[in-house]
Amino acid sequence: MTVFTGLVQGTGSVRSASRSGAGARIEIATPLAAELSVGDSIAVNGVCLTAVEVREDRFAADVMAETLRRSSLGPLAPGDPVNLELPLRAGDRLGGHIVQGHVDGSGTVASVTQEGIARLVRIACPERLLRYMVEKGSVAVDGVSLTIAAIDDESFTVSLIPETVERTTLGLAEPGSLVNVEVDVLAKYVEKLAVRA
């Protein structure tokens, strides 16, 4: 099983994105490609993809139709920045939270405000995702492990420290931006077990 922590290791830049009725192939330029081999997993904006071509400074991955429907990868175009994370290895520190790279859906940035050193980003998303969120719980947004600062019936808010703003694409988030959302997998299992009880 591939597991990530939501601690982004770097950003990359989309070199190309070709689409067909069956899916898409994206090529991403990044120094992290030097650590990949064909068949390895890598999270791109929080979506677990498999490298199908690897060169020293870039890799390509195929994206199936299901992933395009559930995530924000579909609109990616050359030049777009993306968050990247290699899978957790046995013995590594789990500094964020358990992230599978199985995006549950997408959300839309509703507002961005500054509060002291923090940047508050409010993200509107469907109730089917909000039901798994709690204040001070974990959520992955574009692959970044974050703590939910506030939640209401239509949105949740995360508070970004300057390091997150600087090192991830969330620093570029503005109202209208589409982002990937992965809820805490534990919440989904608890719900399923509670329904069966």
34-55 per-position pLDDT tens digit: 999 999 999 999 999 999 999 9
Number of domains in the chain: 2
- Cα–Cα dist 47/12, whole Å: 14
- Cα–Cα dist 171/147, whole Å: 16
Q: Are residues 78 and 117 in the same domain?
A: no
- Give Cα 3 to chain centroid, integer Å: 13
The CA-based diameter of the chain, rounded to the nearest angstrom, is 51
User: Please, which pLDDT band fits residue 20 given cuts at 50, 70 and 90?
Assistant: confident
Q: Are residues 74 and 126 in the same domain?
A: no
Q: Are residues 116 and 81 in the same domain?
A: no
Q: For residue 52, tell me if it sits in a domain.
A: yes
Q: For residue 120, tell me if it sits in a domain.
A: yes
Q: Are residues 137 and 188 in the same domain?
A: yes
pLDDT of 197 strictly over 70: no
Q: Which of 30, 56, 85 is the last residue of a domain?
A: 85
Q: Are residues 72 and 133 in the same domain?
A: no
Question: CATH no. for residue 36?
Answer: 2.40.30.20
> What one-character DSSP code corresponds to residue 131?
T
Contact 38, 55 (CB under 8 A): no
Contact 13, 79 (CB under 8 A): yes
Q: Are residues 71 and 152 in the same domain?
A: no
The pair of three-digit structure tokens given for residue 163, joined into one six-digit string: 């390091």
**Beta pairing, strands 10-20 & 81-85:** antiparallel
Q: Are residues 81 and 109 in the same domain?
A: no
Residue burial 95-107, b: 16+ Cβ < 10 Å; e: rest: ebbbbbbebbbbb
Sole residue written with tokens 């968050």: 83
Residue 157, amino acid: T
Q: Are residues 23 and 68 in the same domain?
A: yes
Q: Are residues 109 and 187 in the same domain?
A: yes
What is the H or E stretch that residue 53 is in?
Answer: strand 47-55
Q: Which of 85, 120, 141 is the last residue of a domain?
A: 85
SS3 (DSSP) at 145:
strand
Q: Which of 85, 117, 141 is the last residue of a domain?
A: 85
* % of the chain beyond a pLDDT of 90: 82
Q: For residue 94, tell me if it sits in a domain.
A: no
The domain of 54 spans 10-85
Q: What pTM value is reported for the model? A: 0.93
Q: Are residues 116 and 46 in the same domain?
A: no
Nearest to 49 by CA among 92, 96, 90, 86: 86
pLDDT tens, residue by residue, 88-135: 888 787 788 889 999 999 999 999 999 999 999 999 999 999 999 999
**Beta pairing, strands 118-124 & 58-64:** unpaired
